[in-house]
Chain A
Amino acid sequence: MLLNFKEIKTNLIRDRYLYLLLIPFLAWYIIFAYKPMYGLQIAFKDFSVYKGIEASPWVGFEHFETFFKSPYFWRLLKNTVLLSLYQLLFAFPVPIILALLFNELKNGVFKATVQTFTYLPHFISVVVVAGIVTNFLAPSNGIINILIEMMGGEKQYFLTNPDYFRTIFIGSMDIWKEAGFGTIIYIAALSGVNPALYEAAVIDGANKWKQMWHITLPAIIPTIAIMLVMKVGSMLEVGYEAIILLYQPATYETADVINTYVYRSGLQDARYDLATAVGLFNAVVGFILVVFANKMSKKLTETGLW
């Protein structure tokens, strides 16, 4: 959609206020987000805090080589991707479903109370939640194991079993801790739906499920789409802090991800260059995924990030 100079001028004048609004906005990006980006070159340098970015010598792709050549690279990548995929499959829909269920509640006080309770874990630090999870899963007297025993099962040392790691991690950190807070976006989107539409639908004889399918869901599809594109883009960004609190060497097979390995090798110890390189790798892959996801999203839902 290329325009000639005349058309550009016309548009500028017609929409001048819109462009006016963009000025401070873009200025912020240039000053605070883009200007420091020259620092990304650290990924290709042997960086010294004393010498500074310019004076530090170039080493090309050396850091990336170190990273890729690691004997565990494929396992780490696999675990990172799998963890993200599982999160997508199991944790991502939860806030949506919860939001839809919350939407059905009529009693204001009950609704507000129940919602508030679900938001609370978001504010509790990861360390505390991990501590609670560890206690619950303790082999001898953790609540979960006691329940299992009562039901005739055998007690297990869950946290040392790689088969359980993803379930424990996603169940506690992504669902228990975060799903509640995650509903807020969808609830906000839902509140934009015109009640008149529902009334009209009821008159037309539509039951609850038809209403949900034809009115509610379409209203939050754009929001879901954006959230989904974002999640796909952060496929490699599995944070290490929470994992470190819950994993064990015996569970490295499924639990060890890129960031935890890097952390463990002390490679992050003032090794900004290596850390930047790993971050850059994550960013490039993530962004490529986002480009794809965005294309798909626009095709299917007509909304996307750009």
Chain B
Amino acid sequence: MKKTRGEKLFYIFNCVFLGIIALLALYPFVYVLSASISSSDAVVTGKVILLPRDINFDSYAKVLSEKGIWIAYFNTFYYTIFGVIVNLILTICGAYALSKKRVMGRTAISFFIALTMWFQPGMIPMYLNFRDLNMLDNRFTIIIGFAITTFYVFLMRTFFQSIPEELEEAAKVDGANDLTILWKVYLPLSKASLVTIGLFYAVHRWNGYFWTMILLSDESKVPLQVLLKKLIVEMNVSDEMGNMAVYSKETIIYATIIVSIIPIVAAYPFIQKYFVKGAMIGSVKG
């Protein structure tokens, strides 16, 4: 498999190009990190551009010692993990069934659920719906009430459809029913897509803020994002009350961003391996 000179050149350019892009994309993160460990004075007067100034960890101390932060972290993990499990189960149910041409009403159902991507009822009716179902201030509500993002159903359906039908036929010949096929054939082959959709749901859940704030009133149930937002809002100082509070909230904002990003960023390398080329190969059975 000899590479031509052109291909070698391309490879080098590609690496350099992507390297530069990566560094450019890295900048906001580096800035946020630096700002979070700089003095608020330096940040506010614009002296922090790339590297931190007057390094201190005060904002982290403040954020991490905030009452209820570890409970909030726990809640976020809870909502993310259980939420994603429920998300995937329901999404797979729909995506798998809809990927089969023989299902009657397939087009109608697809249309029916696609409509919901555009026509959304708005905050008050949704809130009233939860109230009528007696689901206010309940952890379970957060898990089940937001279990499906229609767009991901379509994506997953597309992924399922890309798996060759011969595999299904072969399994059918062996006497397997649709559920067994789903479990033994499709899911193992869809690792990449499951991980992808799972990742998207996870990010959604992790950053989830608005509805958790509206539906939960018990402070011990709120996730990290809500708590962090509270922290930031509390630092808001009104203009009129002219006072000495320098903008100490600036660095706090940055610290909260880092605190909420780190777990996701740390988790990514473990997910990365599922995106290896040819994840499908070697799993063809029966």
Contact = CB atoms under 8 A, between A and B. Distances in A.
A18 B90 contact: no
A49 B124 contact: yes
Contact of A33 (B14, B116, B123, B124): B116
B188 interface: no
Contacts of A276: 122
Interface in B86-125: 90, 93-94, 96-97, 100, 102-104, 107, 109-125
B122 A120 contact: no
Interface of A: 3, 8, 11-12, 14-15, 17-19, 21-22, 24-26, 28-29, 31-40, 42, 49, 53, 98, 101-105, 110, 112-125, 128-129, 132, 135, 176-177, 180, 184-185, 187-196, 202, 207-208, 219, 222-223, 226, 230, 233, 272, 275-276, 279-280, 283-284, 286-287, 290, 303, 305-306
- Interface residue tally on B, bucketed by range: 35 or more
Contacts of A193: 277-278
Contacts of A15: 100, 102-103, 178
Nearest to A16: B178
10 contacts: A8-B104, A11-B104, A37-B119, A42-B125, A115-B22, A115-B272, A123-B257, A128-B254, A193-B278, A275-B122
Contacts of A19: 97, 103
A103 B107 CA distance: 34
Given A17-B177, A28-B90, A121 B128 contact: no
B245 interface: no
A25 B148 contact: yes
A188 B103 contact: no
Contacts of A98: 18, 21
A130 B109 CA distance: 40
Interface stretch (B57-65, B193-201, B212-220): B193-201
A192 B162 contact: yes
B147 interface: yes
Nearest to A230: B151
Contact of A112 (B27, B32, B159, B269): B269
A118 B25 contact: yes
B156 to A, nearest CB: 10
B15 interface: yes
B279 interface: yes
Nearest to A8: B104
Nearest to B29: A120
Nearest to A118: B25
A113 B22 contact: yes
Given A117-B26, A176-B25, A207-B4, A36 B125 contact: yes
B82 interface: no
A283 B94 contact: no
Interface in B201-258: 203, 207, 253-254, 257
B15 A194 contact: no
Shortest Cβ-Cβ A-B pairs, 4 listed: A39-B125, A306-B110, A188-B196, A117-B22
Contacts of B46: 135
Given A18-B96, A129-B28, 13 more contacts: A3-B104, A21-B179, A22-B94, A24-B93, A115-B272, A116-B268, A124-B32, A124-B261, A128-B257, A177-B28, A219-B162, A226-B155, A305-B154
Nearest to A203: B1
B173 interface: no
Nearest to B24: A176
Contact of A272 (B4, B124, B195, B268): B124
A28 B148 contact: yes
